[in-house]
Structure 1
Amino acid sequence: MSTGTVPDPSTDPADGGQVTADDKLDRRVLMVAGVVVLGAIMSILDITVVSVALETFQREFDADTSAVAWTMTGYTLALAAVIPMTGWAADRFGTKRLYLLAVALFTVGSVLCAMATSLSMLVTFRVLQGLGGGMLMPLGMTILTRAAGPERVGRVMAVLGIPMLLGPIFGPIIGGTLIDNASWHWIFLINLPIGIAAIIYAAVVLPKDHVEPSESFDFVGMLLLSPGLAAFLYGVSSIPEQGTVMAGKVLAPAIIGLVLIAAFVPWALRKANIHPLVELRLLKNRNMTVALVAMSLFAIAFFGASLLFPLYFIQVRGETAGFTGWLLAPQGVGAMLTMPLAGVLADKIGPGKIVMTGIATITVGMGMFTQIGPDTGYAYLLGALFIMGLGMGGTMMPIMTAALATLTDHNVARGSTLLNIQQQVAASIGTALFSVILTNELKDSRFVQAGTALQQAGGDQTQVAAILQRFGISPDQLGSLETLVRSDMADAFATVFVVATLLVACCLIPAFFLPRRKVAPVDPTVMAGH
Structure 2
Amino acid sequence: MSPHDLRTNPWAVLAVLCLGLFMALLDTTIVNIAIPAIGAGLDASLDEIVWIVNAYVLVYAALLITAGRLGDIAGPKRLFLAGMALFTLASALCGLARDPVQLIAARSLQGVGGALMSPQPMAIITRLFPPERRGAAFAIPGILGGLAVAAGPILGGALVDTFGWPAIFLVNVPVGAISLALVTLVVPDLRPGQRHRLDLFGVLLATAGLLALTFGLIEGERYRWGTIVSVIAIPHVIGLGILVLALFLLVQYRRQDGEPLLPFELFRHRNYALTTGIAAAMGFAMLGLFLPFTIYLQSVLGLDAFDAGLTVLPQALVMTVVAGPAGSLADRLGGKHILLAGLTLFASGMAYLDMMARASTARWDLLPALLLMGTGLGCVWAPLFSIAMRQIEPRVAGTAAGVIETIQEIGGVIAGAVVGALLQHRLATALREQALRRSGELPGELREQFLDAVAGAASGGLHVEAGLSAPGVPFPAEIQQLAVEVFRHSFVDAMHLALLLPIVVVLLAAGSCLAIRQEKPLVETEPVTAAPSTGSGQDARAGVPSSGGPTRPERTGGER
User: Normalising by the residue count of structure 2, what TM-score does the alignment of the two structures yield?
Assistant: 0.82
Aligned counterpart, 2:259: 275
The Cα shift of 1:272 comes to 5.7
Number of positions where the alignment pairs a residue of Structure 1 with one of Structure 2: 495
Matched, 1:28 2:9: yes
For residues 325-474 of structure 1, the aligned pairs below 5 Å read: 325-371=309-355, 372-444=357-429, 445-446=431-432, 447=434, 449=454, 455=466, 457-458=468-469, 462=473, 464=475
Please give the alpha-carbon distance, in whole angstroms, between the structure 1 residues aligned to 2:238 and 2:24: 26
Matched, 1:91 2:72: yes
The 8 Å contact of residues 77 and 234 in structure 1, kept in 2 or not, is answered as yes
Label 1:382 to 1:272 Cα distance change in 2 as closer, same or farther (>3 A): closer
Matched, 1:216 2:200: no
The Cα shift of 1:212 comes to 4.8
The Cα shift of 1:127 comes to 1.2
Please give the alpha-carbon distance, in whole angstroms, between the structure 1 residues aligned to 2:60 and 2:388: 21
The residue type equivalent to 2:514 in the other structure is F
The Cα shift of 1:483 comes to 2.8
Matched, 1:489 2:474: no
Matched, 1:187 2:171: no
The residue type equivalent to 1:507 in the other structure is A
| Correspondent of 1:303 among 287, 300, 308 | 287
Label 1:87 to 1:485 Cα distance change in 2 as closer, same or farther (>3 A): closer
| Correspondent of 1:294 among 255, 278, 290 | 278
The Cα shift of 1:456 comes to 5.6
The Cα shift of 1:213 comes to 5.8
Label 1:234 to 1:478 Cα distance change in 2 as closer, same or farther (>3 A): closer
The 8 Å contact of residues 350 and 519 in structure 1, kept in 2 or not, is answered as no
Label 1:396 to 1:521 Cα distance change in 2 as closer, same or farther (>3 A): farther
Aligned counterpart, 1:22: none
Please give the alpha-carbon distance, in whole angstroms, between the structure 1 residues aligned to 2:134 and 2:321: 19
Label 1:198 to 1:105 Cα distance change in 2 as closer, same or farther (>3 A): same
Describe the superposition over 1:361-387 as per-residue Cα deviations: whole angstroms up to 9, x where unpaired.
Answer: 112111112222111233320221111
User: Normalising by the residue count of structure 1, what TM-score does the alignment of the two structures yield?
Assistant: 0.87
Label 1:103 to 1:37 Cα distance change in 2 as closer, same or farther (>3 A): same
| Correspondent of 1:38 among 12, 15, 19 | 19
3-state SS in 2 of match to 1:214:
coil
The residue type equivalent to 1:100 in the other structure is L
The 8 Å contact of residues 78 and 131 in structure 1, kept in 2 or not, is answered as yes
Please give the alpha-carbon distance, in whole angstroms, between the structure 1 residues aligned to 2:77 and 2:408: 24
Please give the alpha-carbon distance, in whole angstroms, between the structure 2 residues aligned to 1:392 and 1:457: 40
| Range 223-232 or range 162-171, more displaced | 162-171
The 8 Å contact of residues 239 and 432 in structure 1, kept in 2 or not, is answered as yes
3-state SS in 2 of match to 1:507:
helix
For residues 139-158 of structure 1, the aligned pairs below 5 Å read: 139-158=120-139
Describe the superposition over 1:35-83 as per-residue Cα deviations: whole angstroms up to 9, x where unpaired.
Answer: 2211221111111111222222222222221222111222122213321
Label 1:456 to 1:140 Cα distance change in 2 as closer, same or farther (>3 A): same
* Root mean square deviation, CA, Å: 2.8
The residue type equivalent to 1:401 in the other structure is S
Aligned counterpart, 2:98: 117
Aligned counterpart, 2:306: 322
The Cα shift of 1:455 comes to 4.8
Instruction: Give % identity.
Output: 26
The 8 Å contact of residues 7 and 187 in structure 2, kept in 1 or not, is answered as no
Label 1:484 to 1:302 Cα distance change in 2 as closer, same or farther (>3 A): same
The Cα shift of 1:443 comes to 0.8
3-state SS in 2 of match to 1:407:
coil
Aligned counterpart, 1:80: 61
| Range 84-93 or range 208-217, more displaced | 208-217
Unaligned runs of 5+ in 2: 1-5, 436-453, 458-462, 527-552
The 8 Å contact of residues 454 and 464 in structure 1, kept in 2 or not, is answered as no
The 8 Å contact of residues 32 and 144 in structure 1, kept in 2 or not, is answered as no
| Range 147-156 or range 451-460, more displaced | 451-460
The Cα shift of 1:343 comes to 0.6
Unaligned runs of 5+ in 1: 1-24, 466-474
Please give the alpha-carbon distance, in whole angstroms, between the structure 2 residues aligned to 1:225 and 1:170: 33
The 8 Å contact of residues 36 and 144 in structure 1, kept in 2 or not, is answered as no
Please give the alpha-carbon distance, in whole angstroms, between the structure 2 residues aligned to 1:246 and 1:330: 43
